[in-house]
């Protein structure tokens, strides 16, 4: 799936991945890819600046640790990040439900309209 398609949903996806606990940037990318069954194979360069943006917004907290013999930056959700994730989930379900209804993916209203 192209990165542009995910525009607007990337923050929610990243927050969702970080919900499982602190992980480093590359693990975030891998987790996104694995959890989406390979559909979200984002350019690596898209994810790191997005993580920094979320950190600036106070939704994630970054900290340095040592792993695999080198310094790496790990990210975890803040309390504000958990709240933002909950809000984005509600917003997504409303949006996805409405799109499904209109496009015929799951709406009885579509079949009974005639």
Partner 1 sequence: MDDRHLTSSLVADLDPSARPVAAGYLRELAAALPGSRRDRSAILTEIADGLIEQIADTDGPNPATVARTAIRGFGDPQHLAAQFAPELTGKTAHRTGFGLVSSGPFIGALWLLALTSGPPAVSTASLPERIIGLFAALPVLPVLLLIIVPTALVATAGAGRAAWVLPIATGTACLAGLVAGVGCAVVDLTLVVHALLPGGAWSPFLVAAITISTVRLIVAGAAARRCGRLRFAG
d(CA 61, CA 108) in angstroms, rounded, equals: 43
Encoded tokens for 103: 């496009």
Does position 24 interact with partner 1 (CB under 8 A)? The reply is: yes
Residue 74 three-state SS: strand
Q: How near is the Cβ of 70 to partner 1 at its closest, in Å?
A: 6
Q: Which of 35, 61, 72, 82 binds partner 1 (CB under 8 A)?
A: 72
Closer by beta carbon to partner 1, 36 or else 101: 36
* Strand 60-67 relative to strand 70-77, pairing: antiparallel
Does position 88 interact with partner 1 (CB under 8 A)? The reply is: no
Q: How near is the Cβ of 31 to partner 1 at its closest, in Å?
A: 12
Does position 56 interact with partner 1 (CB under 8 A)? The reply is: yes
Does position 71 interact with partner 1 (CB under 8 A)? The reply is: yes
Residue 67 DSSP symbol: E
d(CA 67, CA 61) in angstroms, rounded, equals: 18
Cβ-contact 45, 26 below 8 angstroms: no
Among 11-19, 37-45, 84-92, 101-109, which window interacts with partner 1 (CB under 8 A)?
37-45
């Amino acid at each position: 799936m192209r990165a542009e398609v995910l525009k607007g949903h990337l923050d929610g996806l990243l927050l969702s991945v970080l919900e499982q606990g602190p992980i480093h940037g590359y693990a975030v990318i891998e987790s996104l890819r694995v959890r989406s069954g390979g559909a979200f194979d984002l350019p690596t360069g898209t994810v790191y600046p997005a993580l920094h943006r979320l950190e600036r917004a106070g939704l994630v907290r970054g900290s340095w640790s040592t792993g695999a013999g080198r310094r790496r930056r790990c990210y975890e959700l803040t309390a504000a990040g958990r709240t933002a994730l909950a809000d984005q989930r509600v917003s997504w379900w409303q949006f996805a439900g409405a799109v499904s209804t209109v496009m015929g993916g799951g709406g009885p209203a579509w079949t009974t309209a005639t």
